[in-house]
Structure formats: structure tokens, C-alpha cells
Structure 1
Amino acid sequence: MRVLKFGGTSLSNVKKFFIVKNIIKEKIRNEQISVVLSAPEKITNYLVESIQIAKIKKNLVQLHLIESIINKFLFELKKKLSPKIFEELKKEIEKEIIKLKTALNTVSSLNQCPGYLTPIIISRGEIFSILIMNSILKSENYKVTVIDPVKTLIGIGDNLNATIDIDKSKNKIKELKIPKKNIILMAGFIAGNKEKRLVALGRNGSDYSAAILSVCLEAKYCEIWTDVDGVFTADPKIVQDAKLLKFLTYSEAMELSNLGATVLHPKTISPLSKFNIPCIIKNTLNQNEEGTIIKNFSEESIPSIKGVTSLNNITMFSISGSEKIATYNLTRKIFSKISQKKISPILILQNYSNGNLDICISDNELEKTFEILKNELSIELKNTLINPIKVIKNTAIISIIGNKFQLKKNIYLNIFLGLQKNKVNILAISKNLSQNSISIVIKKSDVIETIQNIHHSLFNKNYKIIEVFLVGIGGVGNTLLNQLKKQQKILQHKNIHIKLCSISNSKKTIFNEKGINLNNWVKEFQKSKSSFNLNNLLEKIKNNKFINPVFIDCTSSEEIAKEYVNILLHHVHIVASNKKANTCCNQLYQNIRLTAKKYDLKFLYETNVGAGLPVIENFQNLLNSGDKLIQFRGILSGSLSFIFGKLEQGISLSKATIMAKELGFTEPHPQDDLSGIDVARKLLILAREVGHNLELSDIEIESLLPKNFNFNLNLNDFFIELKKLDILFFKRIFEAKKENKILRFVGIIEKNGKCKVKIQKIGKSDPLYSIKNGENALAFYTQYYQPNPLVLKGYGAGNNVTAAGVFSDLLRTLSYNLGT
């Protein structure tokens, strides 16, 4: 015997009912099958709402909605069932609709819903499911026995949250003497009390129904079929890389369900555990997946972590101020009264050393619990033996569940690394005495990000993720995308996953929180009708709660650079080839760094000075080691390095500039290179790294372009005007050669912080002498490196090296990522 339970998502339409029928058909080949059904998806919610509407608004509008859903089922079933079976089904459903209508009219006339009537109304969905499935099976000539749970399952306690007397129910079902060839059908969620009235088993109680039926029929397995592949290490809707758990012990499953996992009802596991019946969680729409099996395993003594869960909408009461609160009598008095009022605390934290007692309950029990505490502690409060009761609202409980996992090395370190990432304030922490869970009370607003971070630190220790948000797809940005595509598989073998979540230019954008396919992003981008808006992008990043989001700025936009502080405030790293943020006013420059430091974020800009050369990192390492800059001299423009090298060969300035432009060495408009402003920006960045509080206007610049040069020309006119300077530069090259020297465009930082950008004549002994053809060279004269400087040189221009530098910075954000 095998019991199969199908949830509402597995029964949301006729097509899914037939998928369920096919699963039954497959299973019955090997053994007898019993089937427990929930209500079709959303029906129970509509039924609950129908009671409220009938009480308040005096109408049956929800009943009409339910009728329309059921009529849609009937319309589709008419084509699939024989006329006779369909007519029988239609009559039975009409009877149930009449019963429902009568019940709701009673509610409407009384302005209230009698206690006995509520479970009758809200359980109609399960009855509909049984009627439909019975007709489908009968239409294929299966013999079916429908068990009436009101007559066979003996409910005890609350009308809406009853438990089952297993022994009496088992005897009742044995009396039915069901033929072994028959398929057994039973509605979930309901039972009958001693007065033989229908009672409900609590919301989602169909799982419990299946567990009870499994025990009563002495089934070998109980299968819960739902819309997910099984139990995961976290809610897949919150944690995209949550892992499917193939195996769970009963105690682990119980802990998961009690502390927030929604796949199983909390009451389900207990009877299965008691009678040692394995439970399997499977996906109706992914039947090939093995699912999760829950039973006792011989390996359960091995420490392991199984999941991260959360309970939201929690209120914490904190009682403190006296050692008396820690005494057994006072604590017992509090919980005796709470128990009498049928309030179930979710978490109790008691510290005997300081007399603190914290009680966590669901928000819907807040007022009732507060009244009890005030009354029971009135004497202590009046005599100031304890402090006023502190009520902390809008909290949540994050729980880490496993099997004796507290014996697992570094478990606490990894949990607190996850908490540290978004600087979560811990309100309380509790260790389960059975070593099966740790629960942490935090603010509700921190839940999603905290779950993601703790899960990542526990389950993806060696798996590093970067979520990329790229703005700017010109030469550098486009090249970077090609490099990302090329390296994707190689990095994945190293457990590094770069997920490109958005691509934008100044006009439009594409966004996909699950990752954009790099093989067809161009077509997708061309089709996009979404305009780019930075605030909208940041809102999406905030709402999706990414693990390691990185904003890459491959534009030259000052407007975007001015938003860096805002980006950092959204807990997003920044990698920038854009130099504007580092060369704007000193106040913004400082604010960006202070914000990054405050939130422990990365702001990386290696390509701002030397493109692909590791200039910034090495310079920072020098300064951090205590070295001091005496002088800096450098060729900081790959385009001007190329141009001056061509001037040496006798090529004109205008022709050399066109060649540099065609090779992608220059800025979008070459006048930025020839004016010296690009070199000045790079020099300013280096000077600020040293600590000089300079503005761009403080740098002396000897431009290649004269003061009377028209800087408002388009590209064609610019190159025509530039030809007028060719003769001038032929003369300057000739004069330098007479002194056995060459011309180079050099940036200089003096010890006092004075900065200059100028054309210099350079002799053969100078470390910058041989630099040409697009190379950069940076000579640092420091306390440690003198009289011979530390020289960094290599190609400093071009899309490939610049994109590679951005790529390198991107990977450096992993030093922040948890688990590294």
C-alpha cells in the first residue's frame, strides 16, 4: 500500500487532474494506491473570504467566483468524460454548491459564522476534488472506494485545528474492508468529531490527513506531491541556488516544518515517525526528479546542516531586571497561563545569569499575550522587581537546522559571517538542546538578505557568485562582455559564477535576475523597449536581494559617477573604468570612499590610470607598507604614447592621431587626449591616492593644442584643424633630435604635491625614453625605491587591456564575498 497526497497546485485545472490520474495509473501497476486530495488551488482562500463577505457585505459574490471556477472544470471535463459519468458529476457538484449557498446564507442572516459551520464551508474544495477525480478514474474503468473522513477519522479538539485519534480511526477504516484492487480516494483537511460533525485539521492539513491514512492503512510509503522538487536547503523563491535535499531524518523534517519550511505541515511528520513510514516529497510536474525522502537513516549520527528557514510576523516580549524572573516558579506561572489560553510560544530564550526572559510569539497573538504577561507579572511590575515589559515588533526568526551540526567545525563562524555581511542586529539567539537547530531573532526587514547570506556561507563556501550590472556597452563594455562569455565555463570550473543581470546604455536596458544569456544578449538588447533608469535598476537590485552585486561603469558619464554614493548605499560594489568619480570635486571623492568603508564595500578603479596595468593596487600596497612618494613621473596616455612614437618616425601629428583613433587608443573624441586633460585626470587620481587634496584645476597642463584652438568641432572638422599643427610638431621633434633626445608627454607629481602635465625632452638614461606604440610607463621615486625608481610599464590603451583590467577588478570583489 502506498498513499499519495496531491496539493492544490497539482489540481489547479483539468489538465493537472489528468496528470495526477496518470501518476496514479503508473503507481497502481505495482501496488494498491490510496489518494488524498487537497482543494484546487485558491479555492480554499476564496471560501474563507466568502464567509467574511457574507458576514459584512451581505452578498455571495465569492460564491459566484467559486461557481465560475468549478463551471470551467465542468466545461472541460464534458469533453473527456462519458455522458453518463459527466451528468452524475454535474449533479453531485450542484448539490455541493447548494449546500455551500445555504451555509453562506445562514452566515449572512446571522451576521456571524457559527463554529460548526466554518469547517463545513472552507472544506468544500476538497469535496470538489474528490468528486472530479472519482469521475475521471471511473471513466477509465478503475474501481474506486471513496473514504468519508467525517465517518472514519476521529477528530479531537478545535473545530478548525483538530488532531486525529489514530487508534480509533484505524479501527474505523479496518471496518470498511476495502477490496485490494480498488483505488482509495479520501478528501484531505477534514475529519469528524465525536458528534459526527465535520471538523478541519488546520490550514494545509491535507498532508496530515495523508500521514494519518498511511498509518491507518499500514502503508509502506506516504508520498506528498506538490509544485516543488522536494525539500530545499532554503526557500528557492528567496535563494536561487538553494539545493535539493535528497534525504532528511524525521527529526530534521519536524524541525524544518516547525521553524518555517512550507513544504510540509508541522503535524505531518509525527505519526509517520512514530510508525516508521517513510515520506517522499515529489513534484507533480517533474516526476523524474527523485524528490526528498524522509525516514530514519543510519548516517543520522554524522553532523550535517540541512537548511535555513524563517518565520516572519513575530513579536518578541523581553522581560528583564531581576534574578527572580529566572526562578522556576515565576517562569512556570507565565507559561501555565499562556498554555491555558492556547498560545504557543515559538521561541523561548532564558538567561539565568542575568534574569532575562524573551518570548517570541506570532503577531496575531500579540495583544492576548501582552495582557497575560501584564496580569501575571503585575506584582513584580508594581514593586519594580522587573523592568517594564519590552515589546519588540516587526521581528522574524531565522533558523539553521541540521543533525548535531553544532559539532561541525566552524559552524558558528560561517553563520556569523552571513550575519556580518549586511550588518544584521541580532535581537536574541537560541540553541536547541537537541543540537538540531540554532534560531536567531532579527528585524523582519533583514530577513531575505540574511537568509541568502547565511545560506551562502553554509552551503556555498567554495562557490563564489558575482551578480553583474553593466552600464556602458561601447568599446570597453562590449569587449568585456566577450571576455566574460569566453571565460564563463573556465571560471565555473573554479566555482566562480558570474551572473550578468543587466546590460544598459544611456538609452535602454535589459534585466534578468536569473542571468542574461551571453550568447544572444545583442538580439535581446535590440528588442528591448525598456529605457535605462538608474533608480529603477537600484530598486530591482534591492528587491531581489542579490548575494554579491557589482555595478560596472564602462561609460564616461559624469552623471552616473555622481550617483556612486547612492549605488553604495544600496549595498552594491562598484567597478569603474569611468574616471569622472575620481577626478570630480574632492568632496564627492571623499564621500565615495567614506561610504564604501562604512558599508564594507569595494570601489575598484584600476583601469582609471593604466588601463590593464596594475597601477592603483601596487601603488596602494606601497603606501600601506609605509613607503612615501618623493616624485612621480609617468607616461599615462596610451594614445599619446602611440602618437609620440609615430612622431619620432616622421609621421605627422594629424595622421598619427587618426591612426590612434582607428586602433581604439583614444578617447571617443581625441581632443580629450591631445588637450592633456585625460592625462591630468589620471595624475589627479594618483596624487589623491597619496593624500593630496587637489582639484583638477590645480594641475598645470601643457596641451598639445594651442589656447586659440576651437574645442567645439565635430570629428571631421577637428582633424582638418589639427593638420595646421603638423609643421609645429615636426620642428619640435627636429629640435629634440639635435640634443639626442625625444619628446614624451609626461605627468609629474612633486614631493610637495604640485602636479604638471607637459611635453618633455627625454634622454636615453630616462626610464621613460623607450616608451612608445601605446605603452604606458609609471616611475615611482620613493623612500624605498631611489635613486632607481619602481617602474611599471606595458600597454595602457585599447579595449582589450582596459576590459581585462575591469574583469580583474570584478574578480577582486570576491575577496568580500562570503566563504573566501
Structure 2
Amino acid sequence: MKTLKFGGTSLANAEKFIQVSSIIIKKFKNDQVSIVLSAPATITNKLEKSIKKCIKKIKNPVDELIYIKNFFLKLIKDIHKSYNQYPLETIYKKINKKFHKLHDIFDKIKLLKKCNQNIQAQIISTGEIISVILMKELLKTKGYSITEINPITSIVATNDYLNAIVKIEKSKKIFKKINISKKNIILMPGFIAGNQAGELVLLGRNGSDYSAAVLSVCMNSEVCEIWTDVNGIYTVDPNIILTAKIISEITYREASALSWLGAKVIHPFSIKPLKSNNIPCIIKNTNNPNYPGTIIRNKKIDRSSVVQGITYIKKIVLIKIFGTKNFNINNITYKILQCLSSNNIITYLFNNSIAENTVSFYIKKNFLIITQKKIENTLQLELDKKLLKPIFTLKGFSIISIIGSNIKKYYSSILKKICLIVQSFNTKIFSISQNVPDISLSIVLKDKKIIPIIEKIHNLIIHNIKLINIFLIGVGGVGKELLKIFSNQYYILEKKSIQLNINLIANSKNYILNKNTIDLNTWENRLNQSKKFFNLDKVLTFPKKYGLINPILIDCTASQNISNQYSYILKSGFHIITANKKSNASIFSKYLQVRETAKIYKKKFFYETHVGAGLPIIHNLKNLLDSGDKLIKFQGILSGSMSYIFGQLDHGNTLSESVQKAQKLGFTEPNPKDDLIGTDVARKLLILAREAGYKLELSDIKVEKILPDSFKEIRNKKIFLSKLKKLNNLFFEKVKKAKNEKKVLRFIGTIEKNGACSVTIHAVKKNSPLYHIKNGENIFVFYTKYYNPIPLILRGYGAGNIVTASGIFSDLLRIIL
């Protein structure tokens, strides 16, 4: 025996009814089936609204009833078009009789201006009863015999007309007396049961799931199938989060938690009878019947995922009851729980705080008035005696819940991620609770931004996606190459569950922003057309406005102004990756301040490209020092442009020719004078010395002059290159002298054991590691406690836009990974 329940969306029209009949017949060929049917989609809601409108005299309910009646009449006519033997007249008479009775009931409601719950139950169960009438005749038309079960006489429930609880054992005894042929398909309307007096009662909204669970137990079914319009249970509501995933298997305990905490998975009361009788439940899709769906069962599931699903409840209200100093709130806690239970008021996150002497819980907003009234009536004596303060309520909250069997083990790490996400939206968590111990974690926060927060939690925890938000300032040569790397590496990173979003691209004047990601195929045109003047303060507020949890500012400028604000940027929640050497080469107190700020705010501050472009110089030096090594001496060629220029001098080129070639190849700064005065090398040397622990200023670095003082005032690049020719002979003689000594000239940075730093033109012998360095190569020679007398040597291209961009990308990977 299998029990199948078909929901309202599965019975929304004639085509769906016929589709469901085919599924029933296919299942029946293999095993006997018992079927529970809901009302077609929206019918129950319309009947409920009709009652409210009738009482309030907002609208004549006859119009609503005519609409519902016409819906069913059209449905049977459409079925008849496909099956001309379908007994149209017989069904029409039954529907007509049913609606004639409804009209009489509504006339009485109109007259009395009220509708008792027993009458309300009779009205809103109409859809389920008609569904069975239609399906019964359709299956009979197809040649099958039907046994129809009347739930009013067969399923015994409590006296609550709208939210009755089934008495399983009593119902089982009744079913044992029912004689059902194994050749028959069993049909029963969902949502309906009967009380001890034989009156129709309802099992709560969406109670057809509950009916199916009860029928499964009473018929000793081996499985209960819930057929709906989705492929199964999802990790989150797929209507709001497009990246929701199907859950193939889930425990009853997890499914129950999801249901109680807001997910439209299965009626919460359905779980207990199925679980108690060890009947697995499968959630199936009527539109995709061959899809395996989601199976719910008792069996412990061996899986690596920590979290099974995320659910939420919007528009909830906090109710808080305060005891006075002379009254212990524990004295009335049971009284409150009994009041809530007897009135079928569903609460969330119930909490009895001894420290605060309070009882608090959350309810759905539409239950506020009735809940407040019932609680006040229950506690009237205590309120009159001033033992309790007036009942406190606060609206506008939502609950987000994370469900999974492994949550207890990873509670701290999950909560840390959730807090990070909520904080990124500039929102606060109002309350944290484990509503269902061991398998759930719930947070309460304001309704605002609830869906984007859920999406971020889902991506970070379910998909384990690492979200990276890039704010790029500076799109010269290096910035452009970096964007090319981003474009090329995007899908490679995506396969590693890393989502790279470019949220800002800016130059010195304008910027473009996008809360999702900027299209890297069109960014240049958009930036050129942008009329937004760059404003750092506005940019720094962007992550909290849109909940960007991992913003990284990448500075590809040479701006002193930007580098001066690094501490402010770090405080605003950004990591920083910089190719701008001015921050690390500024005054020592500023150098320390940035690092201290990064440490306090737990942000990364990376600057690998400051010394060796794409070469991992700083990272390796730090690793050495962290392992207990100590720098004894350093020598190196730290400038790719000067490496190229001095290499050209080796080949007999003049100084001016060598500089012009280096400029054409992109090795030099925009104005080559900046390379030749040695300041760039001095900055790099200063950064290395500081990393080694020396407290130095830029003025402490001794730089040998290449250019005479007369060159200082020259700002025009063309004039500078023209005047540079005057130094050709001087350098020709220097090169000639070095050659005669079997040496070559190199522009070398040195750090001595005592921390003395110098940048000099030096003639080196052939056995020196620096001898062969030219054509833009850099070399870094570290003599340390561990690497001595043979030094640690790092060598490679240290100049050029591509290698610098790759160095920045390497820093980015260090933050991500």
C-alpha cells in the first residue's frame, strides 16, 4: 500500500486533474494506493475571504460563490472534452446541490453577521470534497473501481473545528473495520476529520499533508508520497533564492524543524505519525513525476554538509512579560504555556529568563490581537495586583533559521559567518536561539533587507561560496592588466566556489559602481561616460548599504592622498591590496599606524608588489623572519627599469638611448626622471629594511646621484630626455672603466648588518650574482643567519604592468584562500 497526496497546484485545472489520474493509475498497477486530495489552488482562500466579506458586508459573497462554482463547471467541461464518457450531468447536479447549500449558509451568516467555527469549517472544506467527486468519476471513466473514505466518520479528532488534532489510535481501530477491496483505488478528501460528536472539523491550513500522514498510518502504507509543484525540498525557498538546491534526503527531525520554522515543506503535524510508525515520506513533483524528489525518513544520513536548509518567517512580533521585583516570573510560566497551547497559538523562540525575570516569545503578526487578549485574560489577577508590568509588544521582526543535524558541532563557526553577513548590511541581530536543540540556529532581526541577508547566508553556508568584492582605484597600465586577469580567471575561480565581483572601478576623476558586478566587457566605455566624481567617503559606505561581506580595495594609483587614508579605509571594513609604495615609504609612525589598524580591525593589508612586482619578496622575507631567521646583509637590483637601462649600457648604447628604449617598452615611470633620481629604489629598500625590523625614514637612505642638481627643476619629459644626452659621455667613460676591469655597472640597493641603507652605482665582478641581471630583471640576495655563506636568491622580472598585476592577483588569492 502506498498513500499519495496531491496538493492544490497539482489540481489547478482539467489538464492537471487528468495528469494526476494518470500518476494514480501508474502507481496502482504496481501496488494498491490510497489517495488524499486537496482543493484546487486558491479555492480555499477564496472561500475564507468570502466568509470575511460576508460578515463585514464588504461585498456580496454570491459573486465569489459564482466564481468558484464556474471554476468547477469549466473544469469538468474541460475534462469532458478529453473524455466524452465523463458523466458531466451527474457531476453538475452534485456541484449545483453543494453550492445551493452554500448559498443558504451564507444567507444565515449575512443575517446573523457572524460565522461560527463549525459553519466556517463546512464552508472552507468544500474544495476538497468536490476534488474527490471529480477525481472519482474520472477514474471510473477510465475503468477503475473506487472506494471513497469519509474522513468525518473514519478519522477521529479533537473538538477544535479549525485546528483539530487527530487521535491516531482511535482512527486506526475504525479503519480496521472498513472492508476495502484490493482491486479498488481509495480516495479521501484531505483537510477534514470528525470529532466525537460526528461533526466536521478541519486539521488546520494545509492540513491535507496531515490527512495523508494519518491515512498512511491507518492503511499501514509502506510510503507516503506528497505530490506538489516542485521537485522536492529545497535548501531555501526557490521562489526568492535562485541558487536554491534540492535536498535528496533529510531526517524527520530536520524536516520537522524546517516546517515549524517557516518552510513550506510539509504540514508540521504530519511528521509525528509518520516518524512514530517509521513510514518514509517522499516529496514529488506532479509536473516532473520521474524525478526522485526528496525522501524524509528516520534513518541517520551520512553526509558532509553541515546545514540542510535555511528558512524564515517574516512579520513577527515580540511579546515580553516582565515580573516586578517582588514576583518570580517562574510562578506563571506554566500558566502562560497552557494558555498558548489551549488556544493553538504557535510561538517561536520561547524564553524564560531568570536573570531578567521575564518570559518572551514571538508570534506571527496576524495573531497579535488574539494572543494579547488571551494572555491578558489569563494573567488578569497578576496584572491587577501589579505583580506584572503591562505586556510589552514590539513589531517588525523576522526570524531566519539554519537547520541541520551537524549544527551543534559547528555552531560557533556558523554563527560567526551569520554575524559577519548581518553586520555587512549594517543591521543588528536582536536575538539568537536554538529553537530546536542540536539541529537549529535561529536569529531575530528587523524585517528590512531580510531576503538579501538570506541569500548571502545561503551562498556562504550552503554553497560554501567565498564572495569577493573588488573596489579598484587606478586603471592605468597595471589596473587594466589586472582587470584582464580578473576576466580570464573568473570561471576558474568560480569552479573553486569563489565568486569575484567587481563593484567599483575608478580613476582620478570618475568612477562606476555596481552592487552586483561590473561588466568587464564594457567597463572602459562606461567609465569614460561616467559623470560621477570620485568620492572616497561615498565609496566606503557602499558595502554596508548592499551587504558586501568581503570588500577589498585595490590601490593601483601613485596617489599620496589615497595612501594617507589607508587607516580610515581599513576601519571602514575593507581589506587593502596596494601597488602604491607611498604608504609603506611614508613616515615610520604612519607605517606602524596602518599595520596596527589592520590588526585591530582584523583586516588584511598586502603590498607584495611594492618591492618585486610579481616576485614574492616580502612574503618570503616575512616567512624567514617568522621562523626565527635574521637578516645579516641584503644586496639587490630592485628596479626593472634601471636593470634594463644598465643592461643596455653593457651593449654599448648611450644613457639617453637606453632610457628611451626602456620608456618605449613600459619599464619606466611616465617621466623617466623619477627612475633615474633613485627615489623609487630608495623606497623599495626602505620597505625591505622596515620589514626586517629597522626603524628608518626615507631620508636615512643614502642615494648616489645619477643626475646633476641642474636636472631637478626639469618637469617636461621631452626637455629632460634632450638634456640627458649631456650625460652620455660621462656614463660611456664609467662603462669603459668597468669593462677594462672585467666588470659591469649595476644600480644596487644595499642593507648592511647595522641597518645602514644605500643606493649606489657599483661595478660588479663576473662571480657576483648581480653580474648577469639586465633586460628588466630584478635580483634579491639575502644573507641571513640560515642562508650564509650561500645566500637566498630570488630573481625574475620586477617591472612591467603584467607582472605587477599578477603580483596584486597573488595577494588577492592570499586573502581568498
TM-score over 0.5 for the alignment? yes
Residue matched to 1:474: 480
- For residues 56 and 587 of structure 1, what CA distance do their matches in structure 2 show? 74
Q: Match of 2:762, as an amino acid?
A: I
- For residues 633 and 388 of structure 1, what CA distance do their matches in structure 2 show? 78
Secondary structure, counterpart of 1:163 in structure 2: coil
Deviation at 1:805, TM superposition (A): 2.9
- For residues 738 and 360 of structure 1, what CA distance do their matches in structure 2 show? 89
Q: Match of 1:293, as an amino acid?
A: I
Higher mean displacement: 563-572 or 204-213: 563-572
> 1:77–1:86: 8 Å Cα contact kept in structure 2?
no
Deviation at 1:141, TM superposition (A): 5.3
Equivalent position to 1:159, from 126, 144, 161: 161
- What's the CA shift string for 1:706-761, capped at 9, x where partnerless? 566666xxxxxx7x7776356245345324325538666677999999999x8x42
**Which residues in structure 2 correspond to 1:33-112 (within 5 Å)?**
33-41=33-41, 44=44, 58-59=58-59, 63=64, 70=71, 77=78, 81-82=82-83, 85=86
> 1:639–1:660: 8 Å Cα contact kept in structure 2?
yes
Structure 1: where are the runs of 5+ without partners?
712-717, 816-820
Q: CA 1:209 to 1:656, structure 2 compared with 1: closer, same or farther past 3 Å?
A: farther
> 2:460–2:466: 8 Å Cα contact kept in structure 1?
no
Deviation at 1:475, TM superposition (A): 1.8
Deviation at 1:281, TM superposition (A): 2.4
Residue matched to 1:715: none
Residue matched to 2:777: 775
Does structure 1 residue 812 correspond to structure 2 residue 807?
no
Secondary structure, counterpart of 2:615 in structure 1: coil
Q: CA 1:448 to 1:737, structure 2 compared with 1: closer, same or farther past 3 Å?
A: same
Deviation at 1:17, TM superposition (A): 5.4
Deviation at 1:685, TM superposition (A): 6.7
Residue matched to 1:724: 722
Secondary structure, counterpart of 1:294 in structure 2: strand
**Which residues in structure 2 correspond to 1:183-582 (within 5 Å)?**
183-193=185-195, 198-231=200-233, 246-285=248-287, 287-297=289-299, 307=308, 312=313, 313=316, 315=318, 317=320, 325=328, 331-340=333-342, 342-343=344-345, 345-349=347-351, 358-364=359-365, 365=368, 367-368=372-373, 371=376, 375=380, 377-378=382-383, 382=387, 394=397, 396=399, 398=401, 401-402=404-405, 410-411=409-410, 414=413, 418=417, 421=420, 427=431, 436-437=438-439, 442-443=444-445, 465-467=466-468, 469=470, 474-483=480-489, 485=491, 496-501=496-501, 549=550, 551=552, 553=554, 556=557, 573=575, 575=577
Deviation at 1:763, TM superposition (A): 2.8
Q: CA 1:103 to 1:576, structure 2 compared with 1: closer, same or farther past 3 Å?
A: farther
- For residues 781 and 511 of structure 1, what CA distance do their matches in structure 2 show? 48
- For residues 529 and 121 of structure 1, what CA distance do their matches in structure 2 show? 63
Higher mean displacement: 531-540 or 340-349: 531-540
- What's the CA shift string for 1:428-472, capped at 9, x where partnerless? 65597xx75465655457988998999899988xx7745465757
- For residues 187 and 336 of structure 1, what CA distance do their matches in structure 2 show? 32
Deviation at 1:268, TM superposition (A): 0.2
- For residues 104 and 732 of structure 1, what CA distance do their matches in structure 2 show? 110
- What's the CA shift string for 1:749-798, capped at 9, x where partnerless? 99999999x8x422327976654322334578999999999875432234
- What's the CA shift string for 1:75-103, capped at 9, x where partnerless? 99479624674966788778878887887
Q: Match of 2:405, as an amino acid?
A: G
> 2:350–2:359: 8 Å Cα contact kept in structure 1?
yes
- For residues 236 and 187 of structure 1, what CA distance do their matches in structure 2 show? 29
Q: Match of 2:728, as an amino acid?
A: F
- For residues 558 and 54 of structure 2, what CA distance do their matches in structure 1 show? 59
Q: Match of 2:648, as an amino acid?
A: K
Secondary structure, counterpart of 1:476 in structure 2: helix
- For residues 41 and 530 of structure 1, what CA distance do their matches in structure 2 show? 53
Deviation at 1:208, TM superposition (A): 0.7
**Which residues in structure 2 correspond to 1:578-657 (within 5 Å)?**
597=599, 599-618=601-620, 635-651=637-653
Tell me which structure has the larger Cα radius of gyration: 2
- For residues 111 and 730 of structure 2, what CA distance do their matches in structure 1 show? 103
> 1:10–1:284: 8 Å Cα contact kept in structure 2?
yes
Residue matched to 2:28: 28
Deviation at 1:211, TM superposition (A): 0.9
Q: CA 1:230 to 1:459, structure 2 compared with 1: closer, same or farther past 3 Å?
A: same
> 2:210–2:267: 8 Å Cα contact kept in structure 1?
yes
Secondary structure, counterpart of 2:731 in structure 1: helix
Deviation at 1:222, TM superposition (A): 0.4
Deviation at 1:214, TM superposition (A): 1.8
- For residues 530 and 373 of structure 1, what CA distance do their matches in structure 2 show? 69
Query: Percent identity, aligned pairs only?
Result: 38
Secondary structure, counterpart of 2:814 in structure 1: helix
> 1:345–1:359: 8 Å Cα contact kept in structure 2?
no
Matched residue count: 778
Q: Match of 1:730, as an amino acid?
A: N
> 1:742–1:761: 8 Å Cα contact kept in structure 2?
no
- What's the CA shift string for 1:524-551, capped at 9, x where partnerless? 99999999999999999779968x7454
- What's the CA shift string for 1:542-579, capped at 9, x where partnerless? 79968x74547486497999998898788665555577
Equivalent position to 2:799, from 787, 794, 797: 797
> 2:254–2:403: 8 Å Cα contact kept in structure 1?
no
> 1:333–1:376: 8 Å Cα contact kept in structure 2?
no
Deviation at 1:31, TM superposition (A): 1.5
> 1:256–1:307: 8 Å Cα contact kept in structure 2?
no
- For residues 374 and 705 of structure 2, what CA distance do their matches in structure 1 show? 77
Q: Match of 2:276, as an amino acid?
A: K
> 2:6–2:228: 8 Å Cα contact kept in structure 1?
yes
Deviation at 1:181, TM superposition (A): 4.1
Secondary structure, counterpart of 1:212 in structure 2: helix
- For residues 769 and 15 of structure 1, what CA distance do their matches in structure 2 show? 85
Secondary structure, counterpart of 1:810 in structure 2: helix
Q: CA 1:341 to 1:388, structure 2 compared with 1: closer, same or farther past 3 Å?
A: same
> 2:778–2:797: 8 Å Cα contact kept in structure 1?
yes
> 1:418–1:450: 8 Å Cα contact kept in structure 2?
no
Does structure 1 residue 761 correspond to structure 2 residue 761?
yes
Residue matched to 2:4: 4
Q: Match of 1:35, as an amino acid?
A: I
Higher mean displacement: 662-671 or 34-43: 662-671
> 1:399–1:438: 8 Å Cα contact kept in structure 2?
yes
Secondary structure, counterpart of 1:223 in structure 2: strand
Q: Match of 1:212, as an amino acid?
A: V
- For residues 671 and 16 of structure 1, what CA distance do their matches in structure 2 show? 79
**Which residues in structure 2 correspond to 1:736-755 (within 5 Å)?**
736-738=734-736, 740=738
Q: CA 1:512 to 1:416, structure 2 compared with 1: closer, same or farther past 3 Å?
A: closer
Q: Match of 2:28, as an amino acid?
A: I
- What's the CA shift string for 1:317-350, capped at 9, x where partnerless? 47689898486x5544454455455545544555
Q: Match of 2:214, as an amino acid?
A: I
Q: CA 1:340 to 1:74, structure 2 compared with 1: closer, same or farther past 3 Å?
A: closer
- For residues 323 and 442 of structure 1, what CA distance do their matches in structure 2 show? 30
Secondary structure, counterpart of 1:268 in structure 2: helix
> 2:468–2:816: 8 Å Cα contact kept in structure 1?
no
Q: Match of 1:614, as an amino acid?
A: P
- For residues 803 and 310 of structure 2, what CA distance do their matches in structure 1 show? 45
- For residues 64 and 220 of structure 2, what CA distance do their matches in structure 1 show? 39
- What's the CA shift string for 1:500-524, capped at 9, x where partnerless? 45587568788879xx9xxxx9779
Q: CA 1:273 to 1:761, structure 2 compared with 1: closer, same or farther past 3 Å?
A: closer
- What's the CA shift string for 1:143-169, capped at 9, x where partnerless? 555555456544433333222344565
- For residues 752 and 19 of structure 1, what CA distance do their matches in structure 2 show? 87
